[in-house]
Structure 1
Amino acid sequence: MTAAPYGFYGDDFTGATDTLANLARAGLRAMLFVEAPTPARLATLGPLDAIGVAGAARALAPQAMRVELNRIGALFATLGVRVMHYKVCSTFDSAPGVGNIGVAIDCLRRHFGNALVPIVGGQPNLGRYCAFGNLFATAGGAQAYRIDRHPAMSRHPVTPMQEADLRLHFQTLGVSVNSLDWRAYAFPDAALSDAIENAGNEPLLFDVLDDAHLLRIGRVMHERSARTPMLAVGASSVAQAWAMAAAGQCEMTASPSLEAAQSPVFVLAGSLSPMTEKQIEAAHSYRRVELDPCAMHDASYRDQCRAQIADGLRAGRHVLAYTHRAPVDMKADAAPLAARCAELLRDVVAEVRPKRIGIAGGDTSSFGVQALRPWGLSYVAPLDRGVTVCRVHSDEAATHGTEIMLKGGQMGGADCFERLVYGRL
């Protein structure tokens, strides 16, 4: 098998497509697989600069994570990657019992021998910043909030962020982390290397305030991984740092513009985030179909919804199907609801075969992509900040070549769904 220098595992599908986009925008030949690729599949694609696997570790309990990530670690070690990127949400939200990033580090570092495990603490292009080990994030505007005071992430229903100091946050996840603050990036190379060595053998959290910091981190990753394969942890900023250092500059290559849709667009929104609600309200070009979360378990109800959606698409209308605001006691049923939404998506696509679709919501995206049964995704164009349109690669004619947007609840601007119809406005 031909080695790819860079490998990444996305702990959810939406974030994995953002990493794919950042690598592709840098001119790297990258493919995101929905399942671990076989040697035969890789052989059909020719040389790749980056190989990714989209997973669901963010929603798994620790033991299930260990099974999944030990398998993934062994795969990427066999492929000979120099950097194994465990891609997490840019807000680092995680809990001891679900999506535990500490468990991921413990599993994956056993497959990659480099003593340095960089944790890249911010992603400026998404409004994520790390200073003196503390994480800050914007919330759709210019103001940056300490993550434990963020209006959404401090109240996340599954993994609320209650500590801004990521070193303390990682302690609750069972891993000890050292840190390197942003002032060290002014050091000459030798002095920066000494600062890294003096930080010890624990995973090392790197502050990030701007792209120049990412460039410096990327140079460290290139230099150190050339000696011994390395595990790196963080959002798509890890890929940005790697690509910037490869290019020797902070600027990314120009992105292609998404063209307007030539046929009806279907969007399924399962996210309950305030940003997705704004996007639904602003989606004036769509016929709307509201889905009752309490009735989605009923096959006959889903069939009625499928018929309504299919009729709209066949009539040449863009259609947005969305779950209405669920009652509080529905939070515990998020995964079953996402699975039922995925079944609805699968049935609509099989019947009408829309050429462009969008899915909003982390769980909804993960279940939705799996229901469509692609083997991979490739990059088409950016849609909005942190939102990417990809092309489906599948052995099934109904979905092969379909353009698909996967969007986390907090990602994109209010006109995100409109952009999916008309291209980048």
Structure 2
Amino acid sequence: MPRIGWYGDDFTGATDTLATLAGSGLRTVLFLGVPDRRVLELAGPLDAAGIAGASRTMSPPRMAEELEPVGQFFEELGVSVLHYKCCSTFDSAPDVGSIGAAVATLRGHVANSFVPIVGGQPNIGRYCVFSNLFARAGSAGAVHRIDRHPTMSVHPVTPMREADLRLHLEAQGLAPVVGLHAPAYRTDQPEASLQALLGAQPGAVLMDLAEAQDLAAIGRLIWNEAKREPLLAVGPSSVAQALAAHWEALGTSPGLASSRELGPASGPVLLLAGSLSPVTRRQVEAARSYEHVALDAGRLAVEDAYATKVVDDLSRHLRDGRHVLAYTASEGPPSDTGRAGAIAAATARLVTEVLRITPLRRIGIAGGDTSSLAVKALPIWGLSTLTVLSPGVTVCRAHSENDLDGMELMLKGGQMGSDDLFERLLSGAPSA
């Protein structure tokens, strides 16, 4: 019986959790939808199971429709922790990707009323201190309060305008949210601090996280409650990191899995950059080994003839043995969520059409929404971890019953990875 089941609100984040648990030695697979019995048998025995989704782009009614069968599946599977894996920057809104709406649906599938929310993930530059979230800009940039972050404060769909995650989440219906602050972990009895908060019957408990040394204490608090009754936990991959740290301290973890090297690409590589973040822009500029193809995002979403021409051009370069980097170019972010979703869907269709014409053994997709939609459209049933190319950037192995089986797939969010990430996707070199 798996200890933990998680749902990722986008694919890039879901693969980060996959890598976290696999790196702790757990047998784990990320499914591309709620698996049926046949797919579960293909996956084999599991210590952890994930489902990759795209709820961060959905309205609350659509989220409920998406997440109800997810909750039912994990309840029937008997997991102790049902983890709703949200973005590490918590970018969400009452009407799009609402974390409150997700909790409202999923908490009906667990018996425990305790809903821990882990804020922060230090290994990728996310820090939650006294309930306020801070985030690094890029892999080596300055740290900003999230409502002053140069990218997340002006996100085209869900801009972060409130740094206190209690207020941010209460605006999405999770009221009241109380904070368990970092000094509590330094005491002999952090359990007493947690129980005092639970006595007030909060809607959720937001747990600070700014230093890796606190992971095991957070994991212990969550797991002790989960052993009593299954619970719903919310947060980035730090939820899985915390549990893994606690299991390792207990001696009940299988131990660290041996790392695998990716190796150089054996053929042409397609990389689609659907993110407009400054980090991704620098990565595009540093990718010297690719044939660069600029995409007109607006035309791609509405002109079939233009989309067909782009697919033909990309396929021609790949058949000629060239690595291809296709990136969306725009004068500014989309002005509405509908247009942003249409652009993400159009860029995702490019990947599926190119792979249909030109089978490849390694591809990469940058952009959370684009990744989610593209992988959903591929005829594969699951992913397992090959290696971590950079903190927050996982290269996965595709599982399929057709010729895509074994394809190597890098997924990354807009904020993740060093400037040379796309070059290292070709060489297989890990981050320095």
- Please tell me the TM-score bracket, short chain as reference: over 0.9
1:78-117 to structure 2, matched below 5 A, reads: 78-117=76-115
* Match of residue 263 from structure 1: 267
* Match of residue 276 from structure 1: 280
* Match of residue 338 from structure 1: 344
Distance 2:2 2:21 in 1: 13
* Match of residue 214 from structure 1: 215
For the residue of structure 2 that corresponds to 1:68, the secondary structure is helix
RMSD: 1.7
Tell me whether 1:413 sits opposite 2:418 in the alignment: yes
- 1:379 and 1:247, CA in 2 relative to 1: closer, same or farther beyond 3 A? same
Give the alignment's TM-score, normalised by structure 2.
0.94
- How far off is 1:335 after superposition? 1.4
Post-superposition CA distance 1:217-260 (Å, at most 9, x none): 11122222111101100000001111111111899655323211
- Unaligned 5+ segments in structure 1 are none
1:280 and 1:417 in contact (8 A); partners too: yes
Distance 2:263 2:94 in 1: 43
Using the aligned pairs only, state the percent identity: 50
1:50-129 to structure 2, matched below 5 A, reads: 50-129=48-127
For the residue of structure 2 that corresponds to 1:22, the secondary structure is helix
1:303-322 to structure 2, matched below 5 A, reads: 303-322=308-327
Tell me whether 1:289 sits opposite 2:290 in the alignment: no
For the residue of structure 1 that corresponds to 2:297, the secondary structure is coil
Aligned AA for 1:30? T
* Match of residue 354 from structure 1: 360
Distance 2:194 2:211 in 1: 20
2:334 and 2:340 in contact (8 A); partners too: no
1:6-405 to structure 2, matched below 5 A, reads: 6-140=4-138, 141-175=140-174, 176-188=176-188, 191-200=189-198, 201-202=201-202, 203-248=204-249, 255-296=259-300, 297-328=302-333, 331-332=336-337, 333-397=339-403, 399-405=404-410
Distance 2:414 2:243 in 1: 27
Distance 2:246 2:320 in 1: 49
- How far off is 1:387 after superposition? 0.5
1:293 and 1:323 in contact (8 A); partners too: yes
Distance 2:226 2:423 in 1: 42
Distance 2:205 2:171 in 1: 16
Aligned AA for 1:360? A
Distance 1:102 1:329 in 2: 25
For the residue of structure 2 that corresponds to 1:103, the secondary structure is helix
Distance 2:74 2:402 in 1: 27
Structure 1 window deviating more from structure 2 (49-58 vs 364-373): it is 364-373
Post-superposition CA distance 1:10-37 (Å, at most 9, x none): 0111110111011111111110011101
Distance 2:7 2:307 in 1: 33
For the residue of structure 1 that corresponds to 2:299, the secondary structure is coil
- Unaligned 5+ segments in structure 2 are none
Structure 1 window deviating more from structure 2 (127-136 vs 243-252): it is 243-252
Post-superposition CA distance 1:271-316 (Å, at most 9, x none): 1111111111011000111111232132222222122211211121
For the residue of structure 2 that corresponds to 1:226, the secondary structure is helix
- 1:17 and 1:171, CA in 2 relative to 1: closer, same or farther beyond 3 A? same
Distance 1:211 1:47 in 2: 30
Give the alignment's TM-score, normalised by structure 1.
0.95
Distance 2:212 2:129 in 1: 14
Distance 1:378 1:18 in 2: 11
2:156 and 2:333 in contact (8 A); partners too: no
Post-superposition CA distance 1:138-194 (Å, at most 9, x none): 102352211111111111111111111111111211112111111111222xx3222
1:244 and 1:252 in contact (8 A); partners too: no
* Match of residue 424 from structure 1: 429
For the residue of structure 2 that corresponds to 1:199, the secondary structure is helix
Distance 2:114 2:334 in 1: 43
1:19 and 1:236 in contact (8 A); partners too: yes
Distance 1:5 1:393 in 2: 22
Aligned AA for 2:82? M
Structure 1 window deviating more from structure 2 (352-361 vs 297-306): it is 297-306
